[in-house]
Structures are given as C-alpha cells and as structure tokens.
Amino acid sequence: MEKNKHFGFYLDQTRCVGCRTCQLACKDYHDSPIGVSYRRVSEYEGGSWVKNENNLLQPFNVFAYYSSIACNHCDDPACTKACPTGAMHMGDYGIVDVDTSKCIGCKSCAMACPYGAPQFNEHTGHMSKCNGCQERLDEGMMPICVDACPFRAIEAGPISELREKHGHIAGVAPLPAYEITRPNLCIKPEKNAQPSNKGNGTAHLPQTLSEVSYDIV
Amino acid sequence: MYEISRRRFLQWSGALGGGLASSAILPLPSIAEDVKTVPSSKKYDSIKWAGCTINCGSKCPVRVFVKGGKIDHIETDNTGGDEFGSHQVRACLRGRSNRYRVYNPNRLLYPLKRIGKRGEGKFARISWDEALETIATKMKEVKEKYGNEAIYLTYATGTTGAIMNRCTAGPWVRLLSLFGGYLNYYNSYSTAQITDGLNHFYGTSRGSDIMNIEYAKLVVMFGNNSVETRMSGGGTGYAYKCALERGGAKIIHIDPRYSDSLVGACDQWIPIAPGTDGALIAAMAHVMISEDLHDKDFLSKYCVGFSSDTLPEDAPKNGSYEDYVMGRGEDKTEKTPAWAESITKIAAQTIINLAREIATTKPCFIAQGWGAQRQSNGEQAARAIATLAAMTGNIGSIGTNPGTREHTTGWIEPAPLPYKNPIKDAIPCFLWTDAIVRGKEMRDITDGVRKTTQLKQNIKFLWNTGGNCLINQHSDANKTAKILEDESLCEFIVDVNVTRTSSNRFADIILPDATPLEQEDFVRSSSGYSNDRPYIVYSQKAIEPLGESMPIYDMCTKLAEKLGGETLKNAFTEGRTQVEWLEHLWDVKFKDKEGMPTFAQMKEMGILKLPRYKKPLVGFEKFVQDPIANPLKTPTGKIEIFSTALDKMAKTWILHEGQTITPLPVFTEAKDGPLDPARKTYPLQIFGYHYKGRTHSSFWESAPIREINPDELWINPVDAKERHIKTGDKVLVYNQYGTMSIVAKVTPKIMPGVTSCPQGGWYKMKNGIDVGGCINSLTTHEPSAIAKGNPQHSILVEIKKA
C-alpha cells in the first residue's frame, strides 16, 4: 500500500472463532516475550438460563463472539496524546509506533488506550506495540496476522478501501465507541454482536486469569 | 475463483469416489505462484518446509525460517492463490508455535536414567551407549523370562502423520517385530466406542466429506466441534465455515457447551446432558413414529430391525427399535419427549420440534464428533445417532452424512515402513494398566482380548514414545501412578520424547527424540482430514537436532545393534538410511505414476497439493444406489439397527456390574453418568473438551501458547452462585478418584448441572491435589462394555472454592 494512505484492519466476526493463531503468529514473528501481545483476542458472551413450565432450566439468548484486535492506528490516538516524551508517534501509513530511544516506559499510553494496544516489555523497559508489520507493508505484503488466519477473518490495507468493501462499523461491544479515538478498523459483526456501551454481556481476556511459567514437571 | 455451480455439480454424481489419490492421474500442481512472504530487509539462512506432526487430526505444513543456525520464526503454507478450493493449508497457532517446542526449557537434550524411586522424577544424564546397553539387556532378560508377549508399546499420538518418526508405528514396530514381537493393541482413546459401535451398525464408521454441508438444507451436529478440534488448514474448520457460507444451510448444534463451532454460523444451540444422546434419539423416534414422519421405505429397504418386519429370525419378540421406542419392549416404557426431557434436560417441545424439522428437511447432514461416544454407554450413543440418519433416510445422497463423524474424500501417503509382528494377541488400548496388573487373567469375553482367548503374560516391559498416556491422558491418574510406581509389576519403562512430561516421570530410561524440524521425513495429512484437497509435505531438515537428541530411526538402528549385532541391525535397516528409506517408500507407491513427482522433485518442492476433488465423498453412496451389489460389511449386509453380532455378544460376554450390551441402540444408564445414584454426593457432570492451545497434552509445555490459552473450568452461573464461585476463583474439583485444582470461569455457555474444562492439562501432584488441571485425576479405569474403551466423559464431581 502507499505510505500516504491510512492503514487499517478489518475483522470478520462471523468467521473469527477465537483460535488465536493471529496472536501467536504475531508473537512468534516479533519475538514478543510472555506478557506482551500486540494482538489480543477477547471473548464476549452473554445470555441466561430460565426455568420453563416444568421447572427445567433452558438457555435464553446465550451467545458468544470474539474480537481479535491489534492497534487500530487511530485517527485520534489516545496513546500519542498521553505520551509525555513524544515517543508514541504517528508515521508512514498513519501507523502509530513507539520510538524506543524516547520511551521512558511510564505506561501512560497503555493506560490511555481503550483497546489495550501498547504493551510494556519488562525485558527492554519500553513500551511496544503493533506497527502493522511495516517492513512487510513496504514490500507489498500483508501483516503476519493476516497471512496467518486459518479462517481468513482478518484483512489489512488502506482503511478507505476496507470500508468501501466492508462498511464502517467499528463500535462493537466490548470495544469502545468509534468516536473516542476514531480507530482505523471496520468490523463485520457476528449475528449476536451488540453495540459498544450497550452490550449486556461479559468480556473475557483469558490471559489475565492465570500466570504462566515454565515450571512444569 | 474456483467455482462449480450446483447444477454442474449434480452432473458429476458418482464421478469420483473416496479413497486414495495414489493412482492420481492428475496434473502436477504448480507451486510457482508462491506468494512472497519474506521481506528483503530480513535475511534468513534458509526457509525449509516441515510438518506439524501432533495428532489433532490435521498435519499442517509449516515453513521454518532459520537465522544463525537457530529457528527465527515459523510461517505456514503460502503457495497458490487463496480462494477457497485452491486455498492455502494454513497451520493454526499450535503449528506456528513449533519454535517454542524446539527451544522449550524442558526439552530433552540427553539420555537420562532414573536415580530416585520410580515416579519421584529424579534423573541423571547418561550416555547413549549406556542407555541403549541398559535397555537391550533388560529387553533380553524380559524376553527370556516372560516371552515377547510381555513387551508392550503404548498407544500414543505425540508424533503421528510422519512416516519415519512415529509413536507406535514405523521404526518401533519394525524393530520390536524383528526382536520377536510384542503385545498388540487395537482401537484408540479417541474413537474406541464410535468405531466399535458403528462397526456393528454399518460395518465401518466412515462418513461423508464435510463439504456436503454446502449441499445440505439442514445440519445437525452432535458433540462435533470442527473449529476447535480441527481448526487448522489441514482440518475441517475452515471447510465447515465456507460450506455453511456457500450453501446457507440451517445449523443446529447439540452439545452441553456452546462451542466455538456455534460462533458466527449457528442457528440453534440445544444443550444436552452428557451421555444422554440415546434418550434424545429415542424420543425423536417416538415423535416420528407417532406422526408418521419416518422414512419407512428407506428403513425397510436398507435396514435391519427398525420395525418387527425386518428383525432377524432369531431376534427376541418385540425386539425391534420401534418396539423399544413405543414401550412394547422389555422395559415397557414409552420413550416420549417428556420421558427424555427429564434425562436429557432438553424441553419436550424442543425435542418435538427438532424431530419434525429433521424428518421433513432433506438433505440433512447429521454428524457426531467423538465427544458423545467417549462415555460409558458411548457405543449406544454412537449407534443411536446413526439411527437418526437411517430413520430420516439421510444416507447415501449428496448433502447427507450417515450420523458418523465426517470423513475425507482422499489423501496421499507413501508406503509405510514394513513390519510383521509374529505375535497377534491384542488388547483394547485402554486396558494396558489392567494388563500390567492381571494380564494373564484377561480373556476375549471378559476384556475384549482379540486373536487369542486369553493373554499369556502380564506386561513387564513398557515402551512409551511420543506419548503422555502413561499418566496424563490415561484414566484415573492417581491409580495409574500407583501401578507404575510398583517395580514388581511392570519391570522396565522406557520413554522417548522431545520434552519432559508427566508421563516420563515414571520412566527408568528417557531417550531424547528429535523434533520434525530436525530431520527429514514425510508428513502426510493425518487420516486425510484435509477433506477434498489432498496434500503431503516433505519435511526438510531445518536445523541440527538439539543436544544429543536423535531421530527415532537412528536410535532404533543403534538399539538393533545392541540387541542382535550386525545381523539384526542389517535386518532392520536393509542397508538404508532414513532418507534412503523415504525414497524407497515413495517409489514403492508413486514411481512412474503419471502426474506424481519423483522423490527428488518432492524433496525439493517440500509440499505437494493435488487438485481438489470435483465431488466430495458421500458416505454409503454405492450401497444406497444398489444394496444388493454393494452390501455393507455387517453380518446381514444391511444397516443393522438391530445388531446380530451384539445380540450374540450380549449372551456370551461376561460384564462388570452396571455394564450392558444390547442389540438395539437404546439409552442405557452409565456408571458415573447422569442418572448414577452417586450424583447425590457428586452432583455435577464434568467432561473435558479439546482445547485450542494444545492437542491433547502436546504444546502445553510451551508457555507462550499456554499464556493465551489458560486452563479454565466452565461453570454455569446457577451452579456457581450456589457455591459462591466467581470468575477467576481457584476451585477444587473432586470425586472418589481424586481432586484437581483449577481457575473458574463462570459462563452461561455451559448448561447447569454440567461443568467442563479443557483436557490435556499436565498432572502435577502437590499435597494430594493435582494442581496441573489434569482432568484424569477425576476419571475411571472402568471401560465401556463393548469396545472396552475409555469412558472419560462419564464423570461426576463436586466443586468448591479453594
């Protein structure tokens, strides 16, 4: 894609089954340590169980869907505004990235971003995040997550073209409303998908549940 | 884009059957349109093809990027365009995490010998020479003292799909056969009940290709979850999604949990109490019979025993399925929807609607995964679901599946490494712990021993390779541990693996295996779950084996020399290296086959993808077209809803208390099942599902993959509230077999009264509690009645906050 066009992602929630291949492929390619995931797959689920006339519990509107989200390289990024040193900046393709020579690892960007995109790397002491696999874009390739998806649920490219193809929806629960940071993201919602801030489900990011170590046998 | 219109497709009817593409007179596919995926700014030493050989039922190609002699990262198939039909075989996160497997801190780098008590987990490094010398000496001693029948190679699937580096085939069975043989096993931990059950129904358990969904109007899945169990490119997940998108069939999943196969595509979720599928089917039959909706023509032409007019002569009076359903059979109970509601926990009206919908919608694709059958009464469940397909005549035509698990249209593989085990005696693979304790007592009619009436020996020497069944994946881990710890029972245990595991804690000697990325081999699409587009991968050695690890073929060659000098070594190798064998086995099958590359070409190409079949395999198509000319492999040649063989077995076999064998696919109560009185003490049913972050227990050792797929116990908000449990709480799950600790996830995606956790977590005991989240801390050694299979989904537990 051309450097003066704004880069963005498309997610087809009807195809995303939460396999997390995108997340692992990204981790492997960028050699991210434990605790750092440039792309994250959250679960959103809801519904309830109600008694029928025989006192038998039956499912009522039970649903689940996944959102695989990296950085949306927003038009109005919260992270750059929060960054006290100017390390977090917008560059070619409108891609938001960290200048590690300026980053002091204060995590302000991580706290500001409603998508959880900036990731603190405790080995380097700096923030890190999705840069759209810029060196791949430079040579006409797709980000590694896009080429990895076994279900072809993610696309990337100039956001104007993605929106023309897939529409403008980006505010799907549990993600924030579009207006907050104006993400370069468009989503084909799952049939149960609910709008931002109006969803009646629960979001779940499994990696936050337990710690992992190599102490195994 | 590759497209075939339905009209054009139907004209193809019968053009291509299933089976092997070995006689492929197909044009050699071009891989010239390789899509560029390497930025020129990144410099790699090499990019090599390899395959992921873990047993998820797929076997995906991976490309290994090497820099400075180390694996930099893993990518996947990037050849061809990516339109469905000519799409790339994209590995899932498991395949892509192979780098973490190779460099796992627990990777085995040297042979180890046990220095503590067995099971204590204390080992010391030794040389290959010492390791093999010790093993050879002990093997000769056991052979001398007990005979070759005392040697056993356990069921395992940690490396399958390869030709030379395999768990329980290839070099192992060749070497052990040349040494005088070993005790065989039959069936598997995945499919024992469905295979045996459906062998007594159809004569086989094979079904239709999942691509039939494109031509179906309705899809009904029982415990079938393609997008989690087979989510990778070599599996059925993507095909399932695309077939649904293209065909637009309505889809219903019958499953205790809202699985990921329901996401995006599914129209209806019907939660069912585990182990009660037979009751649901009987009630649906009641509706169909009462409302005259069943396909009587199909039943009378192709089936035995649905109604009394097709019962065999020696069958009991009122012994048909119809008699059973309408309350004319032995139990005098009508199998009404209300009767089934209390057992299945599905509302009677839902059952009525479902029965009407299935009976009046054709074609209907009815399939079962391997979840419903992994029960104490699993054979019955498997046969009952197949009965539904027969009752509605949804067998043998495009868009249907005969109630089995979906099958593949074709696959390619070279010849296997030849071997001939002089010993024929075989046990069901689940009964190896019994064969250690009481092998000599085990008989055909008590324990399903085959090819002999009684075993000659207890197992005294265990080989375990690429496996975690010694403790982790076998039932009742705590009891198994006690059996393995006792050195007077099984006298010697050798474990071969790429990593330390829960299982090799119990070994006397551990040998370090090379990973598929460290050797040359073929990796075939396993069991052909690649659907209608066969492929094969030549694993090009990407890096040198780490430490002193070595491919299985090489260790077997060295062991052959220790066991029988140059003579045995030469008999084993026939003078060939691993690569020379690969060439030989390729040539046996494909030399001069038109359209197939030579071995040298294949080695260079790395991946071979054959064109897509024009028509997906339809199960029992020929039989339905002409049942006289193409009879099934059942005793009557027909679909046996009343099984003549099981009728005989029911009269002759000696069963344990609570077990039953019946000629009809009736609902039977199961030990540790939903109606067991033990439910008063242990009120929740639990079952383990296949997890995205691992295949069985493989990949668990890699922290980066486990980080994003942690072990979670699903519990319904109703059950959680009663126990004051919330998401993130540590809970204890316990029953008469053991206690497991795990983190809870409260979710409406699991039905009340049932709880579930991913199977394959690694057994790790701390103060009498398994803190590894291994569900086999809670399962039983009691086998199912017919197949003597592992009933690992029949479990009752109670849960409390830790």
B159 φ, ψ to 5°?
-135, 100
Q: Which of residues 631-660 of B touch A (CB under 8 A)?
A: none
Q: Is residue B581 exposed (0-12), middle (13-18) or buried (19+ Cβ within 10 Å)?
A: buried
Residue B557 has pLDDT above 60, yes or no: yes
Angstrom distance (rounded) from CA A35 to CA B791: 38
Among B465, B460, B404, CA closest to B183: B460
Residue B504 has what pLDDT? 97
Q: Give A172-213 pLDDT, tens digit per residue.
A: 999 999 999 999 999 999 999 999 999 899 999 887 766 676
Check whether B356 has a pLDDT greater than 50: yes
Q: How far apart are the CA of A111 and the nearest CA of chain B, in angstroms?
A: 21
Distance of residue B320 Cα from the nearest chain A Cα, in angstroms: 31
B255 touches chain A (CB under 8 A): no
Whether cis (ω within 30° of 0) applies to the bond prior to B363 is yes
Q: Is A58 on the interface with B (CB under 8 A)?
A: yes
Instruction: Return the ∠ at Cα B654 (arms to B649 and B658), rounded to 5°.
Output: 100
Alpha helices in B371-523 (DSSP H): 378-391, 432-438, 444-447, 477-485
pLDDT > 70: what percent of chain A?
A: 96
- The rounded distance, in Å, linking the Cα atoms of A131 and B445 is 65
Across the range A90-117, mean pLDDT stands at 97
Q: Is the pLDDT of residue A171 over 50?
A: yes
Instruction: Decide: B184 and B424 in contact? Cβ < 8 Å.
Output: yes
Buried b or exposed e, range B11-43, using 16+ CB within 10 angstroms? eeeeeeebeebbebeeeebeeeeeeebbbeeee
Provide, rounded to the nearest whole percent, the portion of chain B with pLDDT above 90.
87
Alpha helix segments (H runs only) across B147-191: 171-178
From A65, which residue of chain B is nearest by alpha-carbon distance?
A: B263
Determine the Cα–Cα distance for residues B311 and B319; give it in Å rounded to an integer: 8
Distance in angstroms (rounded) separating the CA atoms of residues A150 and B232: 6
Strands B364-368, B218-222: pairing kind: parallel
Task: Write the DSSP symbol of residue B411.
Answer: B
Q: Which tops the pLDDT comparison, B309 or B411?
A: B309
Least confident of A49-58, A206-215, B627-636, B696-705: A206-215
Q: How many residues does chain A have?
A: 217
Assign B5 to helix, strand or coil: coil
Q: Is the pLDDT of residue B2 over 60?
A: no
Asked if B710's CB is within 8 angstroms of A206's CB, the reply is yes
B705: closest CA of chain A, how far (Å): 7
On the question of pLDDT at B771 being above 80, the answer is yes
Q: Does A205 touch chain B (CB under 8 A)?
A: no
Q: Quote the pLDDT of residue B7.
A: 28
Q: How far apart are CA A17 and CA B263, in angstroms?
A: 6
Which region among B330-339, B472-481, B517-526 has the lowest average model confidence (pLDDT)? B517-526
CB B272 within 8 A of CB B687: no
The beta-carbon neighbor of A49 closest among B106, B716, B727 is B716
- Please give the average per-residue pLDDT across B288-296, as a whole number: 98
* CA closest to B718 among chain A residues: A49
**What gap in Å lies between CA B232 and CA B304, rounded to an integer?**
39
Report, as an integer, the average pLDDT of B140-144.
98
B706 contact A CB<8A? yes
Contact B73, B101 (CB under 8 A): no
> Residue range B636-640: average pLDDT?
98
User: What does pLDDT average to over chain B?
Assistant: 93
B8 CB-near residues (< 8 Å, 6+ apart): none
- Both tokens assigned to B565: 């000098």
Q: Is it the case that residue B143 has pLDDT exceeding 60?
A: yes
Task: Check residue B525 and give its pLDDT.
Answer: 83
CB contact under 8 A, B501 and A217: yes
User: Are residues B225 and B372 in contact, defined by beta-carbon separation less than 8 angstroms?
Assistant: no
- The reported pLDDT for the residue numbered B790 is 97
The first and second tokens of residue B586, run together, are 């390729």
The band of B23, judged by pLDDT with boundaries at 50, 70 and 90, is very low
- CA B201/CA B396 separation, integer angstroms: 15
Q: Name B73's bridge partners.
A: B65
Q: Which of A28, A46, A58 sits opposite B74 (nearest CB)?
A: A28
Which pLDDT score, from 0 to 100, does residue B21 have? Answer: 39
Question: What does the block give as tokens for B274?
Answer: 């585990």
A68-88 pLDDT tens trace: 999 999 999 999 999 999 999
Chain A residues whose beta carbon lies within 8 Å of the beta carbon of residue B93: 19-21, 23-25
A46: which chain B residues are within 8 Å (Cβ-Cβ)?
748
Question: Residue B750 pairs with which residues in a beta bridge?
Answer: B257
Yes or no, beta carbons of B711 and A138 under 8 Å apart: no
**DSSP H helical segments within B200-295, as ranges?**
226-229, 237-247, 277-290
Neighbouring C-alpha atoms within 13 Å toward the C-beta of B748: 20
Measured between alpha carbons, how far is A79 from B201 in angstroms, rounded to an integer?
Answer: 63
CB B233 within 8 A of CB B527: no
Contact A144 B75 (CB under 8 A): yes
pLDDT of residue B273 exceeding 60, the answer is: yes
Of A16, A144, A150, the CB nearest to B238: A150
Does A38 lie at the interface with B, CB-CB under 8 angstroms?
A: no
> What's the CA gap between B197 and B277, in Å, rounded?
14
Mean pLDDT of B698-724: 95
DSSP string, B495-514: EEESB--SGGGG-SEEEEBP
Give the whole-angstrom CA distance, residue A169 versus residue B185: 56
Least CB–CB distance from A24: residue in B704, B718, B727 = B704
| C-alpha closest to that of B457 among B182, B168, B179 | B182
Tell me the mean pLDDT in the region B584-612: 92
Is B600 part of the contact surface with chain A (CB cutoff 8 Å)? no
Could you tell me the sign of the dihedral formed by the alpha carbons of B588, B594, B596, B599, in that order? positive
Q: Which residue has the higher pLDDT, B24 or B791?
A: B791
DSSP letter, residue A85: S
Q: Which residue of A has its CA nearest to B42?
A: A135
The pLDDT assigned to B224 comes to: 96
CA–CA distances in Å: residue A86 to residues A144, B147, B391 = 27, 76, 70
Kindly state the average pLDDT of the residues B506-511.
98
Give me the amino acid identity at B150: A
Would you call A17 and B104 a contact, using CB atoms and an 8 Å cutoff?
no
Inter-chain CB proximity A49 and B711 less than 8 Å: no
Inter-chain contacts counted by CB atoms under 8 A, chains A and B:
196
**pLDDT tens for each residue of B80-125:** 888 888 889 999 999 999 999 999 999 999 999 999 999 999 999 9
Residue B32 has what pLDDT?
42
Average pLDDT, chain A: 95
Query: Which pLDDT band, with edges at 50, 70 and 90, does B670 fall under?
Result: confident
Of B441, B481, B432, B479, nearest in space to B460 by CA: B432
Question: A207 is written with which tokens?
Answer: 């990696």
Model pLDDT for residues B422-450, shown as the tens digit of each residue: 999 999 999 999 999 999 999 999 999 99
Q: How many CA atoms lie within 13 A of B15 on its CB side?
A: 10
Beta bridge partners of A68: A41
Please give the span between the terminal C-alpha atoms of chain A, in angstroms, as a whole number: 48
What is the pTM (predicted TM-score) of this model?
Answer: 0.95
Find residues 73-132 of chain A whose CB sits inside 8 Å of chain B: none
Identify the H or E element spanning B65: strand B61-67
- With H, G, I as helix, E, B as strand and everything else as coil, classify residue A156: strand
Query: Which residue among B36, B39, B748 sits closest to A59, beta carbon to beta carbon?
Result: B748
Please report which confidence band the pLDDT of residue B784 belongs to, taking 50, 70 and 90 as the band edges: very high
- A147–B contact, CB cutoff 8 A: yes
Provide the pLDDT for residue A217. 54
C-beta atoms surrounding A141 within 10 Å: 18
Residues 6+ apart with CB under 8 A from B313: none
pLDDT at A214 over 70: no
